[in-house]
Amino acid sequence: MPVLRLAMAQMNAVVGGFAQNVETLTRFRTQAASLGADLVLTPELSLLGYPAEDLLLREGFILASEVALAQIALAQDLPPILVGTVVSEGLNGLNLAPSSDGRDVTRAIETHGPAHIADALVALSDEGVVAVATKRLLPNYDVFDELRYFHPGVGQHTIINVEGVAIGLLICEDVWTANGPALELANEGATLIVVANASPFARGRREDREAMLRERALETNCPIAYVNLVGGQDELVFDGQSVVVNESGDVIARASAFNEELLVVEIDAKASSAGIVVDSTYSRDSSRRQAPLANLVIEPPSEIEEIYEALVMGTRDYLRKNGFRSAILGLSGGVDSSLVATIAVDAVGARAVRGFAMPSRYSSDHSIADAQELARRLDIEITTLPIELAHQAFGTMLLHALDGEPEGLTDENLQSRIRGVILMAVSNATGAIVLTTGNKSEMATGYSTLYGDSAGGFAVIKDVPKTLVYELCRYRNAVALELGDPEPIPSAVLTKPPSAELRPGQRDDQSLPPYEELDPLLQLYVEGDATAEDMIASGHDPDLVLRIARLVDSSEYKRRQMPPGVRISKKAFGRDRRMPITNAFRSE
């Protein structure tokens, strides 16, 4: 039985960053050569970045992707590589020989006109393009909108033959369907299936993937290699955790989570003559083969660790890929801002994070002290800017407009907006991005101030319910203790009742149910798409259910104006849950 040495490039692609992506692909391909790999597998759309969204509708973007592919084809004396990219109908059959400089691609597009593209996996050797496999099944649910951009693959099941192993090529969704493309490849003679993926992180997603791969392996009687993208892209985070299962569905190799790396694995596969033979001078050079490798199986992280690392990576990549060198945020001494500050420090380092304490006449001494203690433990700069003078000035200015001083909710929101103005002014002056600190429970119920605590460029914990905020804080403190470091988040932050401190004696539970009651209802209504009737029928208090449903439904206009934030659930506000703002339907 032949043994294929496969290099799986778990890479962090940059959307539209063709030069960076070519460099990354070449670096991994060179590393694979040094390890004697027979073939390099890259993630879905690794050359373009994922998701490219409406960039895919621009002919110039498609042209740039073809030119970048031609650059990869120039490489010599490197193992064959499977590159995730797009192909257009106008370019079918175009041979990108190693001498190509992209001008053939330009002429082809000029000749054939606008490109109708397919999501593709292109096999390249030192002889040029060997084969092109296109994605057949296009997801159009959750965060996916692929029918907008791609036409389905033509149904040609591409098999390549490397070192006597018939390798079937699939892309992401194609492997998720029982009795689908994977089984058809096996029936056509494939003895190993490789899958290029851009599968975003969500709670429980790794378990879903590996359960599905076990089913496909048993169905096809083939080992399956599944390479996944890693990195942050706007709201989405890709966790990597590329994996290989044998024909019995057992995991024989697994890459780490939230790290860019090359996973090299040896796979036993049945010999077969099926498929297009990948003829390469590199693959005939047996001297490159080193001693047998022990396949690496990284133990997957716990769910809470996965979530925390997703938030860190999403924040880091949003700043890095968008050119922000530093971040600022308001530090209230509360649990939300404490968690966001800690994540930011883990993402970009203490020197790149600055906090602002902006106490009002209602701020408690212990909250100010907690904010200062957090900053000390995180080793970040903190600046205290009391807002009392601005609060008084706005009150005086509004006397005529309001026929008196601001009161109640008007006065509460005014304080929040003053703080937002301060942070955005500092952002303008320094170029630092403002990180907002609102959580999913607040976003769901509208318990936030437009142009106040929602003002900023990135909402780190936008998809994190309040109860999970506490869990993440305790997790991060536990990690610090294990490392022998001080706990970053003071215990007082975790034990005091949550409060916005915008009026005397204010507590969150005066406006909302206790979060231990609220969050399960929000999970059912927002993430589970349960109706109010469903929730009441399952035993929840009718008045509370109807109140929460009304809060969620009436707050859509606020959510639409919130900055992007890291998605960690299977249904986040924004990309997943798309509700009309003007909406007369009420589930009551």
DSSP, res 359: -
Buried b (16+ CB within 10 A) or exposed e, 570-585: bbbbbbbbeeeeeeee
Max distance between CA atoms of the chain, in angstroms, equals 87
Query: Of the candidates 430, 427, 383, which has an alpha carbon nearest to the alpha carbon of residue 563?
Result: 427
- For this structure, is 172 an active site residue? yes
Which listed residue (53, 66, 110, 135) is catalytic? 135
Which listed residue (66, 146, 172, 501) is catalytic? 172
Buried b (16+ CB within 10 A) or exposed e, 394-414: bbeebeeeeeeebeeeebbbb
Q: Are 100 and 85 in contact (CB under 8 A)?
A: no
Q: Are 57 and 30 in contact (CB under 8 A)?
A: no
Amino acid at 544: L
DSSP, res 555: T
3-state helix, strand and coil shares in percent for the chain, rounded to the nearest 5: 40, 20, 40
- Class of residue 333 by CB neighbours under 10 A (exposed 0-12, middle 13-18, buried 19+): buried
Q: Is 317 left (phi over 0), alpha (psi -120 to 50) or beta?
A: alpha
Element (H, E) at 434: strand 433-436
Instruction: Identify any residues that bridge with 254 across adjacent strands, giving them in sequence order.
Output: 243, 297
Which two tokens mark 110?
A: 């000029």
Q: What gap in Å lies between CA 243 and CA 332, rounded to an integer?
A: 42
Query: Of the candidates 567, 371, 340, 370, which has an alpha carbon nearest to the alpha carbon of residue 476?
Result: 340
Q: Are 477 and 501 in contact (CB under 8 A)?
A: no
DSSP, res 509: G
Q: What gap in Å lies between CA 419 and CA 416, rounded to an integer?
A: 5
* DSSP result, 210-234: HHHHHHHHHHHTS-EEEEE-EEEET
Buried b (16+ CB within 10 A) or exposed e, 149-184: bbbebeeebbbbbbbbbbbbbbbbbbbbeeebbbbb
- For this structure, is 44 an active site residue? yes
Catalytic residue positions, numbered: 44, 135, 172
